Amino acid sequence: MGWKETYNKKLVSISDAVKVVKSGDFICTPGGPCAAYDLVAEVAKRYEELENVTVSSALMMRPMPHFEAKYQGHIGHLALFLGPLERIFMPQGNIKVNSCSFSNFDDLITQELKPDVLFMVCSEPDEWGYMSFGPGGASVNYSILKTARDVVVQVNKKIPYTFGTHAHIHVDQATCICEQDYDVPVLPNIPITDVEKQIASHIVERIPDGATVQLGFGGIANAVGFFLENKKNLGVHTEMLTDSMMDLTKKGVINGAFKQYYPGKITYGFGVGSKELYEFMHRNPMLESMPIHFINDINNIAMNDNFISINNALTVDLTGQVCSESIGFNMFSSTGGQLDFVRGAHRSKGGKSFIALNSMSVGKSGPINRITSTLQPGTVVTTPRSDVQYVVTEYGIADLWLKSIEDRARAMIGIAHPDFRESLEKEAIEAGLISKKVTVVKK
């Protein structure tokens, strides 16, 4: 029997497809634009007959019914990476957050979570019966397939067909197949602020031609991407493919000519962005999607000379401890791959690692200093100070690599917002982080 006959034999409605789920099951679906929103919503309709079912995903781009409190005990949610929507619903108590670096995701999925069911949205089959994972890429599906009892595939004709390593599934591998089209969720480009432009300018001047770059999630990293237009022969090895990378590729800035790991290719885990980005990804031979634990493997990162890692932070203390996950005990984001890329850049010949943040933000009660003498209780340290190289604000760059505690503290005060520098110095002296300046008067 050919694959087309197999496809038709496995074809069912969405309501019938989710009947594979039973009480106690752990369901995994890839995050972002290729999360199986229709399938998960259909399972939610059965919540009264189900108990202790968990849905796991990351960076969801649509609110799901089971995020709400009334589903507790029936269908819960585990966020492998916390996004804005999950953050909104967390107070209702039905969303838990995992803490795991992306480089360890294969172990997380196969040894700890051991999912029973994989929900996935794929492209139409190609002429050989293979369906592409689309912009969700190879990121986690390869790992989930190792343990899943049932694999439910929703075919969406609007999903781009992308290339990559472990980035496809054959019709034969599916337990059942259903069809329903929808527009792939987009992430609009947020206007870049003047402060972000200033931060980006400090970083861009230190990126050499021929470098391979990784840009983290957020406004500053996105700003850097749009400010690289005058560079030449850049490469990309990144978790997330974005619009700025697409634009630089179309302009010839990114060509991967000097990459050592998959030269000439943009290697990435998943893509999130505009409709134009998804069109750019469709059957583009320059793009090579890979499982996220391949992308974030420190050794793979370090294969590329002059590797540049750029990531955002919420808070950095005077000794260089970087928090990118929480505000006190309140979770804001997740571990992700920041530390993987910081360490990979260090191992790269000529590599550089940048942690970027605005020096100040504005809260309900007024200005908030984001460079602090100490981290408030509950704050998660995403990157230890011993791994940090450069910290960047709109006021400059602090080089912390291998520096003493006192040198670190003084460098950090130097890039803090001017309104807070005097108080930071006073706090640092009181804490013993820096010595009080003594003026010697000559007689």
Give the tens place of pLDDT for each residue, 128-177: 999 999 998 889 999 999 999 999 999 999 999 999 999 999 999 999 99
3-class DSSP assignment, residue 142: helix
pLDDT at 216: 67
135: amino acid identity, one letter: P
pLDDT at 88: 95
- Of 196, 239, 394, 425, the catalytic one is 239
3-class DSSP assignment, residue 393: strand
Type and span of the H or E element at 405: helix 405-415
Distance (Å) of CA 74 to CA 13, 77, 149: 23, 10, 20
Q: CB of 269 within 8 A of CB of 290?
A: yes
DSSP label at 353? E
Cα(254)–Cα(284) distance, integer angstroms: 14
Distance (Å) of CA 387 to CA 319, 338, 340, 363, 377: 11, 11, 10, 30, 22
Q: b/e for 194-210, b at 16 or more Cβ within 10 A? A: ebbebbbebbbeebeeb
Distance (Å) of CA 403 to CA 310, 390, 408, 425: 20, 11, 6, 18
The phi and psi torsions of 181 (rounded to 5 degrees) equal -90, 150
Distance of CA 75 to the CA centre of its chain: 25
Task: Give every CB contact of residue 80 below 8 A, 6+ residues apart in sequence.
Answer: 31, 56, 57, 58, 98, 100, 105, 108, 140, 334
Q: CB of 65 within 8 A of CB of 71?
A: yes
Distance (Å) of CA 407 to CA 143, 318, 387, 401: 44, 10, 16, 10
Q: What DSSP letter does each residue of 153-165 carry, written as one string?
A: EEE-TTS----BT
Q: Is 239 in the active site?
A: yes
Task: Give every CB contact of residue 333 below 8 A, 6+ residues apart in sequence.
Answer: 81, 82, 314, 324, 325, 326
pLDDT at 439: 44
Supply 27's token pair. Answer: 């369901």
Paired sense of beta strands 360-363 and 352-356, if any: unpaired
pLDDT at 440: 45
pLDDT at 442: 52
Task: Enumerate residue ranges in the chain where pLDDT < 50.
Answer: 438-441, 443
The phi and psi torsions of 397 (rounded to 5 degrees) equal -120, 130
Cα(213)–Cα(234) distance, integer angstroms: 7
Q: b/e for 137-153, b at 16 or more Cβ within 10 A? A: bbbbbbbbbebbebbbb
Give the tens place of pLDDT for each residue, 190-240: 888 999 999 999 999 999 999 999 986 677 877 887 789 999 999 999 999
Type and span of the H or E element at 6: helix 3-10
DSSP label at 355? E
3-class DSSP assignment, residue 24: coil
Type and span of the H or E element at 352: strand 352-356
User: What does the longest C-alpha to C-alpha distance in the chain come to?
Assistant: 100
Cα(234)–Cα(211) distance, integer angstroms: 5
Q: Could you report how far apart the first and last alpha carbons of the chain are, in Å?
A: 100
Cα(385)–Cα(387) distance, integer angstroms: 5
